[in-house]
A and B are shown apart, each in its own frame.
Chain A
Amino acid sequence: MSASFYSPDDLVALWISLKLAAITVVLLLLLCTPMAWWLAMTRSRLRVVGEAMAALPLVLPPTVLGFYLLLFLGPHGWGGRLMHGLGMQPLAFSFGGLVLGSMLYSMPFVIQPLQGAFQSVGVRALEVAATLRASPLDRFFTVAVPLARRGFITGSVLAFAHTLGEFGVVLMLGGNIPGRTQTASIVIFNHAEAFDYAAAQRLSLTLLIACFALLLIVYAANRRVPEIAASA
């Protein structure tokens, strides 16, 4: 696609969206894998609390999430004061703030598939590995992770696509700063508000096709894998 198809601002916004989604997914995988493992394996009563908290962003209006993050990260919030005390730039109205917001917003899309996948791995496979001399960490990486790969694929793709389309949190938290916090979905809103429907159409179609392609990957992966795992 040529640069004339998208305006330079559109391209920058697309790049920011992609970068935001990619960074969010990587950080979420690192953070959510141990959390999902705990939720899948624990017999503690705290599990339901953890599950409810992990699902909260699903039902919370994005503007509510964004609003509280703004308060938290702003100059008078705990987060903002902590950052200031550590001599760091405040996160509100910055790309870092967007990453934090996106992580919270997309967290359920990583935790829930991972938790389900870990649960379906089951205790038995891990016990088998233990009797074959594998230490707990060894068992996790050589048995649990490969057997839960569907969960990793599903979680990554869903979180990526969900972050691409995020609007409310970004608007509340990042403002609308071109080149820094202005994502593609915000630019679409700006185009539409300015009645530049052609420009909005170009970006919208791009996101539509990208999201559909990503979902196609998820469903294709989920269809292929169970045939092998079926008789496990």
Chain B
Amino acid sequence: MSLALDISWSRPDFRLTVDCEFPDSGITALFGRSGSGKTTLLRCIAGLERAPRATVRFNADVWQDDHHFLPPHQRPLGYVFQESSLFSHLDARANLEYGLQRVPAARRRIGFDQAVQFMGLESLLAHRAGELSAGQRQRVAIARALLTSPQLLLMDEPLSNLDLASRAEILPHLERLHDALSIPIVYVSHEIGEVTRIADHIALLEGGTLRAFGPIHDLLTRPDLPLAHLEEAGSVFEGVIAQHDAQYHLSYVGIAAGRLAISLRDAPLGQRVRVRIDARDVSLALRPPEQTSITNILPGRVMDISDDRDPAQRLVRIDVGGRPLLARITLRAVTQLSIAPGIALYAQVKSVALMN
């Protein structure tokens, strides 16, 4: 058990109802539209908001119940705010040291130099917040939160106020954070692209209610949830770099269902990677396709078929090696090929995107 929440908070203008337990490692994305209660939920976890009659427990500690309320400064968490939150009266170094100095030396697990190097801040330390770009400020803010050696990291849309270039500059840092830290991260976002890149779990919020919660590969492809019906709907697979083919400029990623070819990557063999396959890039064949230009073909079995936003299209969920793969094909094809739950077929994948 890690972070356990039981919140049922009604106010005239909004309500928040969440009862769930977050995993004790990896990144959990709080996903939903603006106004769905993501930030409020994050603030309840941090103790910045005090929902009446709520329970918040972290590991063996009670942070909030009917009798206790641990104020935010006594909770071992880090919080990265949506907008730049650097103290304007301090330079970057003093901002970083602000949290570090308030953590007893015995409980520090991340050193100053380590955090600076991790977020690439070496050249920024003497600058004040006003002299840094938005992306640089957010990197300092993330390092500052890390320097409190948190046992739980909360991030409230840390990239949403940044331009594309700054996002691209920070995302790799976040991905490395995921690999380097063993602590759980709760990450608020309304950007599905961001979520598919970094999240391991998704908590889907709708109108203040937790609609669904589970592993990302599951929630992205569940036909009863809106994520599978997005224009950019797709599936994600974890795999390892298995082989490089210099002649054809290809790298092979091994996943449970087989091997996927991607453009040659300068990555060591055995490196763990995540790939994404868009539903619209998957076509289906009943027999092993021959004489086709498609390289990536995965055998699988149909799990279910559901309506999509466009009445001409159907969403087919296929079990490939124990993981769901989403295919968006025409109703005509479903009928002509007699595709039905339980039948075996071959998924032809036209395009595979490496996420990191």
Contacts and interface: CB of A to CB of B under 8 A. Distances in A.
A139 B102 CA distance: 12
Interface string B126-150: 0011100000000000001100100
B103 A231 contact: no
A133 B99 contact: yes
Most chain B CB neighbours (cut-off 10 Å) among A127, A133, A229, A231: A133
Interface string B241-276: 000000000000000000000000000000000000
A135 B73 contact: yes
A42 interface: no
Interface residues of A, number: 25
Contacts of B116: none
Interface string A123-136: 01101111111111
A19 B129 CA distance: 40
Nearest to A131: B79
A133 B150 CA distance: 10
B87 A124 contact: no
Contact of B73 (A131, A142, A229, A232): A131
Nearest to A230: B130
A231 B129 contact: yes
Interface string A212-228: 00000000000000011
B89 interface: yes
Given A228-B128, A232-B129, A146 B89 contact: yes
Contacts of A129: 73, 87, 98
A128 B103 contact: no
Contact of B87 (A127, A143, A149): A143
A13 interface: no
Contacts, number: 75
B48 A127 contact: yes
Contacts of A169: none
Contacts of B102: 132-134, 138
A53 B102 CA distance: 39
Given A134-B102, A228-B130, A128 B72 contact: no
Contacts of B88: 147, 228-229, 231-232
Interface string B61-96: 000000000011110011101001111110000000
A227 B128 CA distance: 11
B89 A228 contact: yes
B142 to A, nearest CB: 12
A91 B84 CA distance: 52
Contacts of A228: 88-89, 128, 130
Given A124-B81, A147-B89, A229-B89, A134 B130 contact: no
Nearest to B77: A131
B72 A127 contact: yes
Interface string A17-43: 000000000000000000000000000
Among A127, A139, A147, which residue has the most Cβ atoms of chain B within 10 A?
A127
Nearest to B102: A133
**Residue from B77, B78, B85, B88 whose CB has the most chain A CB atoms within 10 Å:** B88
A132 B130 contact: no
Nearest to B137: A231
Interface string A73-101: 00000000000000000000000000000
Contacts of B89: 146-147, 149, 228-229
A130 B129 contact: no
A15 to B, nearest CB: 36
Nearest to B150: A131
Given A124-B85, A125-B87, A147-B89, A131 B78 contact: yes
B72 A131 contact: yes
B46 interface: yes
Contacts of A232: 84, 86-88, 129-130
A184 B89 CA distance: 39
Contacts of B148: 131-133
Nearest to A229: B88
Nearest to B76: A133
Contacts of B85: 124-125, 128
Nearest to A127: B48
Contact of A132 (B48, B74, B99, B129): B99
A130 B73 contact: yes
Nearest to A132: B99
Interface in B278-293: none
Given A128-B85, A130-B48, 6 more contacts: A131-B73, A132-B102, A132-B148, A138-B73, A231-B84, A232-B84
11 contacts: A125-B87, A129-B87, A130-B71, A130-B72, A130-B73, A131-B48, A134-B98, A147-B88, A147-B89, A229-B89, A232-B129
Closest 4 CB pairs of A and B: A232-B88, A132-B99, A131-B79, A133-B102
